[in-house]
Amino acid sequence: MNPVLEPLFRTVRATHPKADLRLIERAYDMAAHHHRDQKRKSGDPYITHPLAVATILAELGTDDETLCAALLHDTVEDTAYGLDELRADFGDTIASLVDGVTKLDKVKFGDAAQAETVRKMVVAMSRDIRVLIIKLADRLHNMRTMRYLPEHKRHQKSRETLEIFAPLAHRLGMNTIKWELEDLAFAMLYPKRYDEIARMVSERAPRRDLFLQEVIEKVSGDLREARIRAVVKGRPKHYYSVYQKMIARDVAFDDIYDLVGIRVLVDTVRDCYAALGTIHARWNPVPGRFKDYIAMPKFNMYQSLHTTVIGPEGKPVELQIRTHAMHHRAEYGVAAHWKYKEEVGGPGPVGKVKPGSDMAWLRQLLDWQKETSDPGEFLESLRFDLSVSEVYVFTPKGQVIALPEGGTPVDFAYAVHTEVGHRCIGARVNGRLVPLESRLGNGDTVEIFTSKSPDAGPSRDWLKFVKSGRARNKIRQWFSKERRETAIEAGKEAIGRAMRKQGLPLQRLMSGEALLALARDLRYPDVSALYAAVGEGHVAAQTVVQKLVASIGGVESAEEDIAETSLPTRLRGRPRGGGGAGVVVAGDADVWVRLSKCCTPVPGDEIVGFVTRGHGVSVHRADCTNIQQLRSQPDRLVEVSWSPSDDSVFLVAIQVEALDRPRLLSDVTRTLSDQHVNILSASVTTSRDRVAVSKFTFEMGDPKHLGHVLKAVRGIQGVYDVYRVSG
């Protein structure tokens, strides 16, 4: 046997004893032969990648066909070994798995290649879910070795991982892979935020570990007394999930991090409920925080009891109680199916979960890809569908329908049947009439009223509130087929309205040539198709107007350049000369000089002077954005140089980026005042992803002091970046 395969075979024997090792070795030999002259970006032989992917899958306990496909997954794409040869050597199943994960040719598909590749993968995984499992393992190993790629590629792959592959792993219940993919992508996309959270976690780890140990000992002791055999351990905290909770719950890091997570693993379902009773007997549960996913499993086969109790010192403790089999499924999801194949038909609630039974969303994806011709739109629908949580509602006959969170009766109607959606005119939720845009909640019973009229159809307004990709696609399709003329008129009107709102010249912008050129740029055959696209909501009227304005050279601007009249102001009211500003003009020392506020130059910066009309010389940094416009008037540019005196004062602008928390602003301003900085202006904005961006402008006599100021601000808890800005 090949010694290189020994670690892989050791794992396979442990997780899948009945696997055909000879077949796996043959697949490895074939892959090694065809990849023999190839190297990875890291310089390693290429075969190390398929071997690593196969090892990840072996740890998940997948079957031998999946492992063979993993070893061969890049041969068809990257070597001369064709799909027909592979089919002859290894059979139809392995060949179709390899074909499912093979990327489409970029030359043939151009920019749409990535979207079309994902679409192809969706079709393949609807036939065999193992295609996606191989793709996830492939992406995981690529993310682990991402540092060898150029930066733009790293960012593109990481964003794709966060938006598509990690949510797909979640859909399949493969939490170990999901967590690692998220943390790797988070560290790649936002290294400073990642490092700050890692630093805050490590600072609090010792105190938290003591508390965790105390809780584990008390829970273990109670379960021993109750004669319940159990393994009790702390739940690992993943940096990306900490960050996501800060955003979702809108709370500070400390509030989340104080929440201790405990996992209790027992032998049987009966023990799960007995353990829950024992824990609730010691600590009071938090109302509304108990979830029974054993009786009602999640869409990805996940089963567990969740409860939050008020533990020692009044701190909340989150507990998950499940059997060992449920735990294995929660970690490995669909991939665990092969290991637990024999158990699936067994008794008890575990037997209710069958791989594929939860794959209704896969069939839904398949429908979308048939209905959506535009690959970009398909990818957008997929991203949205993967990013939202689900609510479960009932039909009057008790059938369960899953909808995206925030779904409406219209989404429900389209989920039942396309025609029910098109003819929907009203809805009753839990016996009460409600508007069609009402949000549905878990457990609602929904009844839809339909119109008998032959002309019945959806309303364009529905597009403003429907949440599911299916409903959106069906409504758009209906308008595309049935209402083109109306859409053209609506589009024309929307563009005209957007222009009037901005006071733009309608006749000049709406000329046939300009619109036709724009339609061609946006890949529409004629102007009517462009109007129809706007009317149907595919393209925003505002976007069309902006592109039209740009195509004729932008809106005419005022003669005098704005940067000079509005931004620079007199510094300290000095009447003449450049001494106060610390700058002298070549050839004339007695010229009124002022430092421009748009880029706040300080000694050490490369600078340029610009002669303004009636306001002396304004000084800009050489890399200031406004200088690009000023260079069009070279006769007004003058040479300037630094000559600071003891009474020179300079304006400095800095930007502070931090993970938002209470008292952050007061901590930053206190630190600045401790550094004897006189703040002239400050602005703070907080984004939805819990990032606070603060800008401060202050006066400073000695620019060398700036380094100390930046260092002091960087030491504040939660601050992950601080730098000087110039615009």
Q: What number of H helices and E strands is found in the chain?
A: 33, 20
Token code pair at residue 484: 């083109």
Structure-token match 């909770």, residue found: 245
Token code pair at residue 535: 């009317």
- Give kind and range of the element (H or E) at residue 669: helix 664-674
- Asked whether the CA dihedral 442, 445, 449, 450 is positive or negative, the reply is positive
Instruction: List Cβ neighbours of 523 (8 Å cut-off, separation of 6 or more).
Output: none
* CA–CA dist 52, 58 (Å, integer): 10
Distances (CA, A) of 690 to 74, 162, 247, 256, 588: 40, 17, 5, 13, 51
Structure-token match 């050791």, residue found: 10
* CA–CA dist 497, 1 (Å, integer): 74
* CA–CA dist 354, 337 (Å, integer): 8
Distances (CA, A) of 179 to 168, 185, 320, 397, 548: 12, 10, 17, 38, 45
* Active site annotation includes 437: no
* CA–CA dist 133, 177 (Å, integer): 10
* CA–CA dist 307, 275 (Å, integer): 11
Active-site position among 25, 59, 78, 489: 78
- Give kind and range of the element (H or E) at residue 447: strand 446-450
Token code pair at residue 543: 């976007």
* CA–CA dist 168, 154 (Å, integer): 20
Instruction: List Cβ neighbours of 376 (8 Å cut-off, separation of 6 or more).
Output: 112, 115
Quick one: which of 364, 8, 341, 358 has its CA closest to 173?
358
Intra-chain end-to-end CA distance of the chain, in Å? 65
Structure-token match 């670690």, residue found: 7
Quick one: which of 185, 595, 584, 132 has its CA closest to 365?
132
Structure-token match 């009891």, residue found: 305
Active-site position among 25, 77, 318, 667: 77
Token code pair at residue 588: 């004339």
DSSP 503-536: T--HHHHT-HHHHHHHHHHTT-SSHHHHHHHHHT
Burial class from Cβ neighbours inside 10 Å (0-12, 13-18, 19+) for residue 535 reads: buried
* Active site annotation includes 78: yes
The catalytic site residues sit at: 77-78
